[in-house]
Amino acid sequence: MNIRPLVGVIACRRDVEGHPAHMVTDKYVRTLRDYGLEPVVLPVWEEQRDEDVSALLARLDGLLLTGSYTNVLPERYGAQRAPENTRDDVARDAAAMSWIPLALERSLPLLGICRGFQEINVAFGGSLHQAVQRVPGMLDHREPEGHKQQQYAPVHDVTIEPGGQLAALFDEPVAKVNSLHQQGVDRLGEGLRVEALAPDGLVEAVSVAQAPGFTLAVQWHPEWESASHPLYDAIFRGFAKACASRR
């Protein structure tokens, strides 16, 4: 019997038909299934007890922090709210900040995407640009107008830093990725290693420098049509391999 590695997927808190709900976009769980993993949606609560989280993580073979239309609360990195920053998810913030260090303590394979990438940076004491497009010298990293295929189309290169986790998964020094984010890394969190950079110098991928296993986070969206994009495919293959080894 082939038992798939069990991957926890952080939920977002939303109101659905007037009721609080815990939600994950289908593209994330479907991609995990496509790579031989078994996703399980993890509810988020504003209060997280470490002993409960540890018991939950002990049952998992990997953890995925997804993208979201919401942003990490700026108070968590000591900033005032910018006018462009309008959507919060305080329950998800609390969950992510609790789960990230506990997952690393357990050497649990960890993959962060977009908001998940930013959560990892904040969890390590880093800060965020709340509107990258207003930072002098930076590109506008927001998604273009149009349908989903246009929004998720690769639009700019990333340069992959040699010797890191991403370079070990993908043997080309440059790849073109999609870009659907307004926020981005300002101050890099202590203990994080830069894995890839955008042409304007914005950090686009990081890993945890001292982590013994797979701990990769990317600012772009590799879950979109992963099998047809060599870099996206390499990321999910690497994550799936790490989760299988963990199991």
- List residues with catalytic annotation: 114, 221, 223
C-alpha count within 13 angstroms, C-beta hemisphere, residue 78? 6
How far is 236 from 233, CA to CA, in rounded Å? 5
- Looking up tokens 């890394």 gives 185
Pair 183, 128: CB distance under 8 Å: yes
**What is the Cα–Cα distance from 52 to 220, expressed in whole angstroms?**
31
Q: Are strands 110-113 and 215-218 parallel, antiparallel or unpaired?
A: parallel
Bridge partners for 175 per DSSP: 158
